[in-house]
Structure 1
């Protein structure tokens, strides 16, 4: 009997380099002391996966030859190594992208180097039936979620959580105002988390259909950024006394920062979490922060402690992550990559992995 796994034979794009191959079933007898064997039930994709598969000029960094791609996944523990005490066979778990971060400090935040050496790039990832992973690369999954829902948390969920609640003393709370941009995984997770604590969310999109879905998820106001170029001023106008929003979760970078600065209140926070916008926008308008003093904070994922806090929050608040309307099977991963690349998705592109009988 064999399992299946996807591998990257190079970085010439997913159409060329992504290959589905057979993989022998692992029993767990060969595990190292800190290893955990996980039967995967679901995975989800990130923009990072596209960049790694087609590393233009080495932008994403190199891969381990024939690495299994994908960092986000949910599954069940099958077997554990001799040093693993906190997990047992049968436990439901989700992956943590950067297991190489020392386990001695649960509050350590990953940097680019940790991400570049993490799952789906240097370490085997989640686009497979099974994976062997260091015990520090998995977290107990929320008890209220299916694997498909839980598989959205590894990157998008954790990044959104860190954005909203990661700055001690400045966590988003009931009555605050938050701007989220677009309908990608981080933005939708941030919307759901903010609504769950009673915050007011202003969302931006270019699609009327998606605008309706954003409202259904709890967005108080939705702005079409293609029709309204100065959406930052419009967002500010929605807030009490037009003082501005408490936080902007900015996923576009240079191309949206001017509007984020226009929307934020004095001493508010702009969280930079993405590079989805255009790069040819001239100088970054950071001097504008002098005219409206605020905090501009960069966020990459989050710590293991933040991840555990996220899991507790999801359970206590009953948050159910939104996934895309189209859920793919393991053999349809190239189609999943294409849907993500063409931006036809809403929230997270998810792969449901059938259990091998």
Structure 2
């Protein structure tokens, strides 16, 4: 295969809505000696992509970015100093390309694809070789594109830090990408899962994926009390907390003394959390913020996915020419699991 010189990529020249997503042609940068060129086959969307497009991402973004953080593709060229990778390898890139191991730093955070640096909604992407992981053999490109953010965030929450044990009880909020992966990883690790959603239809899917208990938080607004009832007053060991201020007070109430709350998102909006410090202290709860994960954690996670043949839940796949529709569908919250864009057709 001859190495292409140009790519089609999306950019956001303005950030006040999805209508600004602009498909344009651009030159492919020349490879540095430690970089690879990847043909992008699939990109999955995150809630983060939506708020980047609206100019509301709290961790900062560059002007006119190429959006998207999560991709799967195939190496088509390698720099002269690259070792361990070859043309034809199927790969994902880590969300923050310089997060190889250990804790996040400010410098690492600024290497997050699709906001502080250009992302992956492009036909071809130049990436540092140190950011790459092999795609598990049992996954296709669409499935693998869901791993870098949603899957690794859930894995880091539940199996990084203070990892769950078989027999633990895990509460996952909603049926978006991180929560569904949290459910699947918890079940694969021997935990009991309680899942919440506003939709009985989505909760049926959660049960099919292994959730033992489900709660509709619209018909049961005091879902924290229902969690305590299910656990005989004890509370859960782990909460995959994606709601933020709008849910965290109830999450604390639903967590056992000394339990773990993994803070991941803020999709439930704002609320009064003035009593939160005292509630956390009063139950000796561990609260941990999760900023995705490292490349070494990604490799560890892929070994787990391969061992249990875990399959990501892909709700819907859109063509590259219909990215705005994909964003609108993600925003509608009708999905269960992940929304994916198929970039290359061959």
TM-score (ref. length: structure 1): 0.90
Distance 1:295 1:111 in 2: 21
How many residue pairs end up in the alignment? Answer: 342
RMSD: 1.9
Counterpart residue number, 1:331: 321
Q: What's 2:308 paired with?
A: 317
Equivalent residue for 1:62? 61
CA deviations over 1:265-286 (Å, ceiling 9, x no partner): 1111111111111214352522
Residue 193 of structure 1 and its aligned partner are, at CA, apart by 0.4
Could you tell me which runs of 5 or more consecutive residues in structure 1 were left unpaired when the two chains were aligned: none
Q: Is it true that 1:5 corresponds to 2:3 in the alignment?
A: no
Q: Is the 8 A contact 2:101 2:297 kept in 1?
A: yes
Task: Kindly state the Cα deviation for residue 178 of structure 1 after the two structures are TM-superposed.
Answer: 0.2
Alignment of 1:230 onto 2:222 = yes
Aligned to 1:85: 83
Please, which of 201, 204, 209 is the counterpart of residue 201 of structure 2?
Answer: 209
Q: Distance in 2 between matches of 1:327 and 1:73?
A: 13
C-alpha distance in 1 between matches for 2:37 and 2:94: 14
Partners in 1 of 2:280 and 2:116 — Cα distance?
A: 38
Q: 2:143 aligns with which of 142, 149, 160?
A: 149
* Mean Cα deviation higher: 310-319 or 135-144: 135-144
Q: Deviations over 1:162-211 (max 9, x none)?
A: 000001xx311221100000011100000000111121000000101111
Report deviation, 1:114: 3.5
Measured against aligned partners, the alpha-carbon deviations of 1:48-98 in whole angstroms (never above 9, x if no partner) come to 111111214x74523143x32111000111111112102111111012121
Moved over 3 A (4+): 111-117
CA distance in 2, matches of 1:291, 1:122: 38
Is residue 254–residue 284 contact of structure 1 (8 Å, CA) maintained in 2?
Answer: no
- Deviation track 1:85-132 (CA, whole Å, cap 9, x = no partner) reads 02111111012121134xxxx422335663444211243322121111
Write the distance in 2 (CA, Å) between the matches of 1:308 and 1:14: 33
- The answer for the alignment partner of 1:42 in structure 2 is 42
Deviation, structure 1 residue 14: 2.0
Residue aligned with 1:286, SS: helix
> How many Å separate the matches in 2 of 1:111 and 1:183?
30
Q: Is the 8 A contact 2:11 2:66 kept in 1?
A: yes
* Distance in 2, Cα, partners of 1:284 & 1:120: 35
Q: Deviations over 1:8-37 (max 9, x none)?
A: 213232212x1011345x5x9x31111110
Cα pair 1:129 1:355 within 8 Å, conserved: no
How many Å separate the matches in 2 of 1:304 and 1:134? 12
Deviation digits for residues 120-148 of structure 1 (CA, Å, limit 9, x no counterpart): 12433221211111112221111111111
Which whole-Å CA distance do the structure 1 matches of 2:176 and 2:107 have between them?
Answer: 24
Equivalent residue number for residue 251 of structure 2: 260
